Amino acid sequence: MSAQISLVAAGLALAIWIYLIAARGDFWRTQKFDDLEPVPAVGHWPSIAVVVPARDEALGVAANVTSILSQPYPGTLSMILVDDQSQDGTSQIASGAAIAIGASDRLTVLQGRPLPSGWTGKLWAVKQGLTLVEGWSVQPDYVLLTDADIVYSGDLLMRLVARAQRDRLAMTSVMAMLRCESFAEKYLIPAFIFFFGMLYPFGWVRNPSRATAAAAGGCILVRWDALKNAGGIESIRGSLIDDCALGERLKQQGPVWLGFSQNVQSVRASDTVANVGHMISRSAYAQLRYSLTILAGTLLAMTLVFLAPVVITLFGRGWAVVFAASAWVLMALAFQPTLRYYRQSAFWGPALPAIAIAYMVFTVNSAIQHFQGRGGMWKGRAQAQVSGS
């Protein structure tokens, strides 16, 4: 790399990191968006129907059912678990958990029907649960869409509803605290949250004047009338990145909110790099609209933003080294709030370029899987680019 190219690359990388930190919606300030307030006095608590799609979730579904039905929610709270043709006893475990806490009357376990063309598995399961809700004589005020590996604690549901009511929100969504115990999780999970915020700055998602829309699929509280007016879940039936697609639909119906809370946690374990990589590869190429051009541009951009600062710092000269080292320092500092939120060592900050390399590999692998007909693979189903829209 010539001295002139090094200087330009380092300068661009530094300028990009200055922009990201100063002008991209404070995406890196994780704690700023962990701002659900204590529960205020509420005269009437609206009714909630919880819909949980579950496919082979034996390891986490008992904790999920128990945590939701044990929430200290003063209003009417009922739960539908849609068993998407599980082979591991998911239904029986869910029912047993409800019985154990004396809440079996508030849990309906629905056996899912075979997946039709045009739907992803998760959304088809959600659709079946919502169809059951539509048949109720009294419709709920809100629907909570959540995953079977998510565990709720404290008075989270009350605070979520209070925020939705106060701000007249069409959608209120929480980014679940992902498990971060194994080396693979420590290496890759905080960066997953960091990169998500970079793509969808929470401050921009909350801002009605911004087009940016997103949601976190583990916990989405939706106003029932807003969901119906948005075209229902069938309007996104083929979406692999269903949470963000739903967030986009709902932002057209009114204000939306996306934030953090440590009272919403995922118990799904990812003990190897391959496990985490599978999660990322499932939808990475879909995020790039199945475009080789966008893939190439993304890899080039990540090389400039994450890798060039390291290479130039170590092997460059003069001002190029100053600019590159400054960019490296800024990225390490920007990563610190997310690392603190996940209670991880600050030393992962300077390692962000190495983490970015893994994400680049996962993204390329996502494209390869797509061309091999295995795109969107999840629990035995290849779902990328299903027919329908």
Q: What is the pLDDT of residues 168-189, one digit of tens each?
A: 999 999 999 999 999 999 999 9
Q: What sign does the dihedral 213-385-228-42 (CA atoms) show?
A: negative
Using CB atoms within 10 A of its CB, is residue 2 exposed (0-12), middle (13-18) or buried (19+)? exposed
Q: Which domains does the chain have, with CATH numbers?
A: 3-28+274-371 (no CATH), 34-271 (3.90.550.10)
Instruction: Answer whether 109's CB lies under 8 Å from 66's CB.
Output: no
- The tens digit of pLDDT for each residue in 313-353 reads 999 999 999 999 999 999 999 999 999 999 999 999 999 99
What is the DSSP code (8-state) at residue 85? S
pLDDT score at 377:
64
What is the DSSP code (8-state) at residue 38? P
Q: What sign does the dihedral 363-367-368-372 (CA atoms) show?
A: positive
Cβ count within 10 A of residue 357 = 14
Instruction: Answer whether 264's CB lies under 8 Å from 218's CB.
Output: yes
Alpha-helix runs per DSSP H in 142-272:
156-166, 183-199, 202-206, 224-229, 242-251
CB-side neighbour CA atoms (13 Å) of 211: 0
* Residue segments in the chain with a per-residue pLDDT below the cut of 50: 387-389
pLDDT score at 389:
39
pLDDT score at 376:
65
Instruction: Answer whether 63's CB lies under 8 Å from 158's CB.
Output: no
What is the DSSP code (8-state) at residue 75? S
Q: b/e per residue, 49-85, with b = 16+ CB within 10 A?
A: bbbbbbbbbbebbbbbbbbbbebebebebbbbbbbbb
How far is CA 264 from each of CA 24, 71, 215, 261, 345, rounded to the nearest angstrom?
Answer: 26, 12, 14, 6, 22
List, in sequence order, every residue forming a beta bridge with 311; answer none if it has no partner.
none
3-state SS assignment for residue 173: strand
Dist CA 314 CA 320 (whole Å): 11
3-state SS assignment for residue 102: coil
Instruction: Answer whether 249's CB lies under 8 Å from 235's CB.
Output: yes
List, in sequence order, every residue forming a beta bridge with 266; answer none if it has no partner.
150
pLDDT score at 384:
56
Alpha-helix runs per DSSP H in the chain:
3-23, 61-69, 90-100, 121-134, 156-166, 183-199, 202-206, 224-229, 242-251, 273-287, 292-302, 308-315, 318-341, 352-371
Q: DSSP E strands: which ranges in 107-170?
A: 107-111, 142-146, 150-152
pLDDT score at 1:
62
Instruction: Answer whether 258's CB lies under 8 Å from 247's CB.
Output: yes
pLDDT score at 313:
98
Tallying the residues shown for the chain, one arrives at 389
Which element (helix H / strand E) includes 4?
A: helix 3-23
Amino acid identity of residue 303, one-letter, is T
